[in-house]
Amino acid sequence: MSTTTADAPTAPAVLTREDRCDRCGAQAFVRATLGGSDGTALHFCGHHFRAHELKLVAAGATILDERHRIDERA
């Protein structure tokens, strides 16, 4: 008997308006991935990322930080 496993989907390189903060539901501008590229991805608004940034970095999370886009319109 053989089994086939599908590759885990990779996260897009940029965050979109549809990505939401896992804490409050606001638009997410930061994605923190724990456990490597196929690990758990957490999305944060700027406020909640600042609140948890030190712990995420200490845990070795890979951070995609797009807070520079907060004031962009489009």
The model's pTM is 0.79
Nearest to 47 by CA among 10, 21, 12: 21
- Per-residue buried b or exposed e for 42-69, using 16+ beta carbons within 10 Å of the residue's own CB: bbbbbebbeebbeebeeeebeebeeeee
Task: Give the pLDDT confidence of 34-52 residue by residue, as tens digits.
Answer: 987 788 999 999 999 999 9
Confidence class of residue 10 from pLDDT cuts 50, 70 and 90?
low
The residue with greater pLDDT, 9 or 33, is 33
The residue with greater pLDDT, 38 or 11, is 38
Rounded average pLDDT over 59-67? 96
